[in-house]
């Protein structure tokens, strides 16, 4: 029974945490992009426009949810919900802080610790394409349809890239559990360089690029290319249903940033000192700091790079990233083999 | 008891999904039916402590294969006014025979005692973890595993060869 209560608390907390994160994330993105583009950005609602997202959310809540007459109603309504649920599910396996020990009971700051955590991530992100595909199809309209066909092709391609980028991490740490991967990144090389998986630099770069494509963000936002497809898969959506898609997209951005932190940047690893309370809070602080830096990197890239052409996107994925990651996997395997068994000529 | 309830729910979902896949008039709903079946089967794997197989089931079948189906269906275009041809007498007789064979085999199989569950073979509860599966694949069954790899690679290369170089001697320009 206590297990159920703990799980309930964790899930509720994760939900609230993600919603608040999205509120902050949208505001940070708009402010940061407007700074980069020499604009002012939102500055009316609240100090520095910090309440702008909340106001937009409230507005979406009260707007009419239009259903096109040619839509397949059931799927049309289900698609945004599925999209949101999958984005939420992805977050559940990410450890956001060091385990906390209170009165001899150890509480992990992670909703669930799966021994196939990495595969779970891949499974969720491979299913996420259905929400977009079905949203586009069930709208019964041309532009959403084109957007969703693009989306499925793009997400399948970069799904493979992402999976291959994760293989060296699993080989290097020897585990698929995300909390164990973070544990494996504790400590330092030579006393001062953190022992993070970022030493697998090609994997790190490839994973980040695949992350851009998986979240359908610039420079890979062909799925919702405004100039060509009006709004892509969500053209026909309005009101709260559109807001759900929007929410899911931003949760996914945060998820990818948090995953990058967990897999490559040591997760919650960082200097911990001071009284007990500070020791509980500091790991989470390091985790959030790293994650938000990655998020800012996402925003920076969005403001800097133009959108790729569709054939460039496909060529880049299949002819450059996949061969590169395969070569890197073989190289990592050979290096790890040397480390474990020694050189064959010795 | 809880396990029984979960099993009944997901077994029912798997069956309903399978039936709706065959019965749906719109191919997109067929895909969704099959998708539900895949997920339900993944849950059944989880109940047998086969975590790795469950994850792979979702990644490969739900994530890759079904997405491909959906992609092809949407690319070809879904015509909701598609009328399926009326069944002929021959088809009905054949269907009857197949159904009879199927139910007869179920009835026969039901007479045997089937041992299931993670500790049916007296092994520890590790059967489904990635480490255990890897140990079996790369330890006990290395040759078989590598043969499968060869087979699939040859099949893929063969498919590409057949598609690019037609048998009648005319060779299309290889698309880039």
Per-residue pLDDT of chain A (346 residues; tens, 9 = 90+): 677 787 888 888 888 888 888 888 888 888 888 888 888 888 888 788 888 888 888 888 888 888 888 878 888 888 889 888 988 888 888 888 777 777 767 777 777 777 788 888 888 888 888 888 888 888 878 888 888 888 888 888 888 888 888 888 888 888 888 888 888 877 777 667 777 777 778 888 899 888 888 887 878 877 777 777 777 788 888 888 888 888 888 899 999 999 898 888 887 877 777 777 777 778 888 888 888 999 999 888 888 888 888 888 888 888 888 999 999 999 888 888 888 887 777 6
Beta carbons within 8 Å of A108's beta carbon, 6+ residues apart: A95, A99, A179
pLDDT grade, residue B172 (50/70/90)? low
- Please give the angle made by the CA atoms of B64, B70 and B73, to the nearest 5 degrees: 140
Query: What are the start-end ranges of the E strands in A115-232?
Result: 188-189, 193-194
**pLDDT on residue B101:** 93
**pLDDT on residue A222:** 75
Q: Which residue of B has its CA nearest to A149?
A: B71
Residue B117 backbone zone (phi > 0: left; psi -120 to 50: alpha; other: beta) = left
Which residues, in sequence order, are bridge partners of residue A194? A188
How close does chain B come to A133, measured CA to CA in Å?
Answer: 8
Residues of A in contact with B28 (CB under 8 A): 72, 75, 134, 137
Q: Would you state the structure tokens that stand for residue A30, as one six-digit string?
A: 């708009």
| DSSP β-ladder status, A105-109 and A188-189 | unpaired
Reply yes or no on whether the pLDDT at B115 is more than 60: no
**Domains of chain B: which residue ranges?**
2-78+89-125, 129-166
**pLDDT on residue B109:** 80
Q: Selecting from 3.90.79.10, 3.30.1550.10, 3.40.630.10, 1.20.120.1200, what CATH number does the domain B2-78+89-125 have?
A: 1.20.120.1200
CB-CB: which of A123, A137, A152 is closest to B58?
A123
ipTM metric: 0.76
**pLDDT on residue B90:** 85
pLDDT grade, residue B176 (50/70/90)? very low
Q: Which residues of B touch A (CB under 8 A)?
A: 28, 32, 35, 51-52, 55-56, 58-59, 62-64, 67-68, 70-71, 74-75, 78, 129-130
- Top pLDDT among A95 and B100 is at B100
d(CA A73, CA A67): 7
pLDDT grade, residue B151 (50/70/90)? very high
CB A120 to CB B130 under 8 A? no
Interface test with B, best of A176, A214, A337 (most B CBs within 10 A): A176
Residues of B in contact with A122 (CB under 8 A): 55, 59, 63
Q: Which residues of A touch B (CB under 8 A)?
A: 72, 75, 114-116, 119-120, 122-123, 126-127, 129-130, 133-134, 137, 145, 148-149, 152-153, 155-156, 159, 163, 176
Alpha-carbon dihedral B125, B131, B132, B138, rounded to 10 degrees:
180
**pLDDT on residue B83:** 52
Question: What confidence tens digit (pLDDT) does each residue in B10-51 have?
Answer: 999 999 999 988 888 778 888 889 989 998 998 888 887 778
Mean pLDDT of chain B: 79
Burial classification of residue B145, based on how many CB atoms lie within 10 Å of its CB (0-12 exposed, 13-18 middle, 19 or more buried): middle
CB B74 to CB A115 under 8 A? no
pLDDT grade, residue B169 (50/70/90)? low
CB B130 to CB A115 under 8 A? yes
d(CA A146, CA A229): 7
**pLDDT on residue B123:** 52
d(CA B17, CA A62): 36
Reply yes or no on whether the pLDDT at B77 is more than 70: no
Question: What confidence tens digit (pLDDT) does each residue in B22-33 have?
Answer: 888 778 888 889
């Amino acid at each position: 029974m206590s297990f159920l209560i703990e799980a309930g608390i964790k899930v509720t907390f994760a939900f609230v945490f993600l919603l608040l994160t999205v509120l902050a994330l949208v505001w940070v993105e708009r402010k940061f992009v407007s700074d980069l583009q020499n604009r002012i950005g939102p500055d009316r609602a609240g100090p520095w426009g910090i309440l702008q997202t909340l106001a937009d959310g409230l507005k979406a809540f009260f707007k009419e949810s239009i259903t096109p007459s040619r839509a397949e109603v059931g799927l049309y309504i289900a698609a945004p919900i599925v999209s949101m649920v999958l984005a939420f599910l992805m977050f559940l396996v990410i450890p956001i802080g060091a385990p906390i020990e209170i009165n001899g009971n150890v509480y992990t700051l992670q909703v669930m610790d799966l021994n196939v955590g990495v595969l779970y991530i891949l499974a969720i992100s491979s299913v996420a394409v259905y929400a977009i595909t079905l949203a586009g199809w069930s709208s019964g309209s041309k532009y959403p349809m084109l957007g969703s066909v693009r989306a499925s092709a793009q997400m399948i391609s970069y799904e493979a890239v992402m999976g291959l980028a994760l293989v060296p991490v699993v080989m290097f740490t020897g585990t698929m559990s995300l909390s164990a991967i973070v544990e494996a990144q504790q400590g330092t090389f030579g006393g001062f360089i953190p022992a993070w998986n970022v030493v697998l630099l090609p994997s790190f770069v490839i994973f980040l690029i695949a992350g851009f494509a998986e979240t359908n963000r610039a420079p890979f936002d062909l799925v919702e290319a405004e100039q060509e497809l009006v709004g892509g898969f969500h053209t026909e959506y309005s009101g709260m249903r559109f807001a759900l898609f929007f929410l899911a997209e931003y949760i996914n951005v945060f998820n990818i940033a948090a995953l990058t932190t967990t897999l490559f940047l040591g997760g919650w690893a960082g200097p911990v000192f001071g009284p007990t309370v500070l020791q509980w809070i500091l790991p989470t602080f390091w985790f959030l700091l790293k994650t938000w830096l990655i998020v800012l990197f996402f925003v920076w890239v969005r403001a800097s790079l133009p959108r790729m052409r569709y054939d460039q996107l496909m060529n880049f994925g299949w002819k450059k990233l996949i061969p590169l990651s395969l070569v890197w996997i073989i190289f990592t395997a050979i290096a790890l083999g040397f480390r474990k068994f020694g050189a064959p000529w010795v | 008891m809880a396990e029984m309830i979960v099993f009944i729910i997901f077994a029912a979902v798997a069956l309903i999904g399978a039936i709706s896949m065959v019965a749906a008039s719109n191919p997109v709903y067929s895909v969704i039916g099959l998708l539900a079946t895949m997920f339900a089967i993944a849950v059944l794997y989880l109940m047998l402590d086969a975590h790795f197989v469950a994850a792979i089931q979702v990644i490969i079948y739900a994530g890759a294969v079904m997405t491909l189906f959906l992609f092809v269906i949407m690319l070809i275009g879904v015509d909701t006014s598609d009328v399926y041809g009326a069944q002929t007498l021959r088809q009905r007789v054949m269907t009857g025979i197949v159904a009879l064979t199927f139910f007869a085999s179920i009835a026969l199989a039901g007479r045997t005692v089937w041992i299931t569950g993670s500790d049916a073979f007296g092994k520890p509860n590790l059967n489904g973890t990635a480490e255990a599966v890897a140990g079996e694949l790369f330890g006990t069954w290395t040759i078989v595993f590598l043969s499968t790899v060869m087979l699939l690679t040859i099949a893929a290369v063969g498919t590409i060869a057949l598609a690019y170089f037609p048998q009648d001697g005319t060779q299309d320009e290889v698309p880039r």
